[in-house]
Homo-oligomer: A and B are copies of this chain.
Amino acid sequence: MISNQFFNTQHAPIGAHASLTLGFPGARGGMDLERCGAPNQDILIALESNERPGLFDVLPFVNLQAGSESARYVADHAGLGGDNIVLRAFAQSAIERKFAIASDSWTAGDLTYTLYSPGGAIPDPALGDTLDLQRALVPAVWAEVTVDNTKGTRARTVALGFNRIDPCYGLRHIKGDDGLVGFGSSFDMALVTNHPGAWSAMGMAWQEMLDVVNAPNRKMGLGGQGMVGFDVPAHTSVTLRFAYCFHRAGVATGGMATRYLYNRWFDSTEAVGRFALREFDDAKQRALRADEKLRNSALSDAQKFTVAHATRSYLFSTQMLEQNGQPLWNVNEGEYNMINTLDLVPDHSLYEVQQHPWTVRNVLDQYTARYSFTDSITWRGETVDGGISFTHDMGAAAVFMPPATSAYERVNLTGCFSQMTMEELLNWVLTAGLYVQASEDLGWLKKNTPVLLQCLQSMERRDHPDAAQRVGVMRWDSTRCGTGREITTYDCIDLSLGQASGNTYLGGKLWAASVVLARLFERVSESDGLARAKHQARLAAATITAAAGADGRIPALLEGRTEAIILPVIEGLAYAHFGGAHEALALDGEFADYFKALSRHMMEHVLRDDTCLYADGGWRISSTSANTFPAKVYVCQFAARHVLRLPIDAINRRADIAHANWQLHPELSAWCWSEQVVDGVLYAAKYYPRGVNSNVWLTE
C-alpha cells in the first residue's frame, strides 16, 4: 500500500537518543545523535558499475551537486585525483525498498543495502549487566551490503560513507590490530567493518577517494568526507557487514548529571563497533524475528506501515541513562525534546509494558520523587488547598528542571504553554494502572497506595472540594495558572480540547482513572479508596451521559461555549482496558448507559464527513479544528473498535490508509513520523515518539 517508498525513517538503537535517519532522496537524512532532526548529511552507498571503471552508481542519499571542499584552500585543485570518477544516482524506478519494523533494505542493480535496528526489550538492569542487556543497549545500527559481481569481469569498488557534520571536530581514521577498519566523526559517531581487505579514506570529495590512482592519499587527514571501501573481485558475490556507531561519553544532561548507561561497557565508538560486529548475527536474527511478528499479524498493510514507522521514531527518542549507578529511563519528545513528557507517558507505556515494564515503573518513580507537588486550586473566585499532581515534563533538551517545575508550563496563559495539572495527574494514575496490570508488581502497588490515595483525593478536589457538589468532571484550576486556565495535551487545538475545566475529554479520562484506581485499590484491599474511586467513576459517567443532548451529541465543554464534536471523549477507555478494569468495561455492565452514550456520539456525530472525517477518510480530533494528532487517533480507533465494539471496519480501513499516507507525503516525509497534521498535511511535532501506541492494535 506504500504510496511513496522514498520517505525518511529512523533506524535507531534503543536508549541511545540516536538514529541513522534515511530514505528521503538527497542529503536529507544522516546520523542523528541527540539532534532531534535529520542533520541533512550525505549518506554514501556507492557501487562501481560494471559498465566502466570509475563510474559509480549510488543510492540517492547524497548531494551530488556539492563542490569540492578543496576550493577553501586553493582555487585550482587539479591533480587531487578523481577527475575521471563519476557518481550518478540510481534511477528511483530502479530501486526496490523493503521496509519493515526492524529492517529496511534497498536493492538496485547488483547492490543490496540493508539496515537492521532490532529494538526489542531491555532487561531490567537490576538483574545484572547481562550479555542481553549489552546487546539491547549497544548504540549501533547494523548494515549489510551485498554486491553480486558474479557476472562481473573485473573488480568493482563498493563504498559506504558520510560527511562530517560536527562544527568543531574532524573525521578520524579507525584501524585496529584486530582488523577493525573505518572512520569516526568527532568522538560520537563512526562507521566500521571488520571485513578483511576493507580500507578507509578521508578527503574533500567522494570522487577523489574513489580514484584508485589516488589511493595512497586516502589516509590523509584533511577533508569532511569519510568512506569505507572494498574492492569486490570479479566473478564473486560478497556480503560485507558494517556498524554505524554512536557514543556519548561523560555527563549527558544538565540540571541533574546523568550518563548513558552503555558507558558501563563501551568507552568509545570503537568499542561499540567491535561489540556490534561480534554480535551481528544476534542483532540480525532479532530484527528478522520482529519483522516476522508484525508481518504475520492480522493488521492491514497500512496499519503495519504505521506501527513500523512510528515505533522507529519512538526508539530514537529513548534514552537509557544512569545517575549514580541507578538506571534512569527517558523518552524524549521528538523534535520538542522535552524529558519524559508526562502527556506522552501513558501512550509510550502502552508499548513499554509489553516490552520492559520496569522502564514504566522507573518513570513513575521519577515523577513521584522529583516532579510531584501539591498546589492550591481556584474556581469562581474561591481558592482552597488542592492536592498532589505532577509536572508536564522534567525538562527539555537534556536539561533537567528544578524539582516540581517543568520546562513547558507558564503562568497567566489560557492556551499553549499553560499548566496541565489535571491532565498530568490523570496520566500518572493511568500509567500506574498500566504498569501494575502488566507487571503484577504488587510490591510496588502496596508501596504506592498512599500516593494513589493522594491522587484520588486530588482528583476529587479538582472536581469540587465540597463532596456534595461533585459531578465527576474537573472544574477547579490549579493556582499555578496565575491569571490563566489549565489546558490539556491538545494544547494547539481550540477551546474544545484546549480548555481543561469542564472538558468531557478529560472527564472521560477521569472516569478511566477512577475505574483503574478502583481496580488497584481492590487488589490491595483498600476499601475506602475503592468505594470513593467507584463513586467518582459513577459521577463522571453519569455527568457525561447526561450531558449528551437529545441528538446524542456529547458537548466538548459541560458549560457549552463550543459546538465542537470531539473524538477523544472515548480515549480514556483504552487506558482503562490496559489498566485491567475489565469488569467496569463490560459493555452490558454497570456503565452500559455511558458506553451507549459514547457509542452514539461516535456513530452519529464524530464519524461523519461533515464533522471529524477528512475528505480522505482520516480522523479529526475535533470538528472545529483543522489540526489533528494522529497518535491520539490511533488510540481512539482502538477504543472505538476494540472496547466499544463499534461496527466501523470500513471506516477504520479507510482511515488507516489515509493516516499512513499522511506520513508518506512526498516532501514532508523527510520529517519521519509526525504528530501534528493540518488538513491531512504534516505540520509539526516531527520525529515524534507517541505513535508507538499504535502497537495496541496488535493485541486486538
- B214–A412 touching, CB < 8 Å: yes
Chain B neighbourhood of A168, CB < 8 A:
33-36, 397-398
Cα–Cα distance between A39 and B81 once the two chains are bound (Å): 32
- A73–B684 touching, CB < 8 Å: yes
A697 touches B (CB below 8 Å)? no
A587–chain B nearest beta-carbon distance, Å:
38
Given contacts A187-B254, A250-B250, A410-B220, contact A399 B70 (CB under 8 A): no
Contact mask for chain A residues 368-407; partner B; CB cutoff 8 A; 1 contact, 0 none? 0000000000000000000000000001111101000111
Nearest 3 interchain pairs by C-beta: A170-B397, A221-B407, A34-B168
Chain B neighbourhood of A274, CB < 8 A:
none
Given contacts A73-B684, A416-B74, A492-B74, contact A255 B172 (CB under 8 A): yes
Chain B neighbourhood of A338, CB < 8 A:
222
- B35–A407 touching, CB < 8 Å: no
Closest B residue to A77 using CB positions = B416
Chain B neighbourhood of A219, CB < 8 A:
405
Contact mask for chain A residues 597-624; partner B; CB cutoff 8 A; 1 contact, 0 none? 0000000000000000000000000000
A323–chain B nearest beta-carbon distance, Å:
16
Q: How many copies does the complex hold?
A: 2
Given contacts A73-B336, A397-B168, A414-B79, contact A254 B184 (CB under 8 A): yes
Given contacts A74-B415, A170-B396, A337-B170, contact A407 B249 (CB under 8 A): no
- A407–B220 touching, CB < 8 Å: yes
Q: List 27 A-B contacts (CB under 8 A).
A: A33-B168, A34-B168, A35-B167, A70-B416, A70-B417, A72-B684, A73-B492, A74-B492, A77-B416, A78-B415, A80-B417, A169-B254, A170-B397, A170-B399, A171-B397, A172-B255, A172-B399, A187-B251, A216-B410, A220-B408, A221-B405, A221-B407, A221-B408, A222-B396, A222-B407, A249-B251, A250-B250
Interchain CB contact (< 8 A) of A217 among B79, B399, B411: B411
Chain B neighbourhood of A222, CB < 8 A:
338, 396, 407-408, 417
Contact mask for chain A residues 93-113; partner B; CB cutoff 8 A; 1 contact, 0 none? 000000000000000000000
A63–chain B nearest beta-carbon distance, Å:
19
Which residues of chain A in 112-166 are interfacial with respect to chain B, using CB atoms and an 8 Å cutoff?
Answer: none
A593 touches B (CB below 8 Å)? no
- B221–A398 touching, CB < 8 Å: no
Given contacts A35-B167, A169-B397, contact A74 B221 (CB under 8 A): no
Interchain CB contact (< 8 A) of A399 among B169, B250, B397, B401: B169
A16–chain B nearest beta-carbon distance, Å:
13
A409 touches B (CB below 8 Å)? yes
Cα–Cα distance between A236 and B337 once the two chains are bound (Å): 43
A494–chain B nearest beta-carbon distance, Å:
10
Which residues of chain A in 68-91 are interfacial with respect to chain B, using CB atoms and an 8 Å cutoff?
Answer: 70, 72-81
A651 touches B (CB below 8 Å)? no
Cα–Cα distance between A398 and B491 once the two chains are bound (Å): 44
Interchain CB contact (< 8 A) of A221 among B169, B396, B416, B491: B396
For the complex with contacts A34-B167, A187-B254, A221-B408, 18 further pairs of A-B residues with Cβ separation under 8 Å are A34-B169, A35-B167, A73-B491, A80-B417, A168-B397, A168-B398, A169-B254, A170-B337, A172-B254, A172-B399, A216-B411, A216-B482, A217-B410, A217-B411, A219-B405, A220-B408, A221-B401, A222-B338
A413 touches B (CB below 8 Å)? yes
Chain B neighbourhood of A39, CB < 8 A:
167
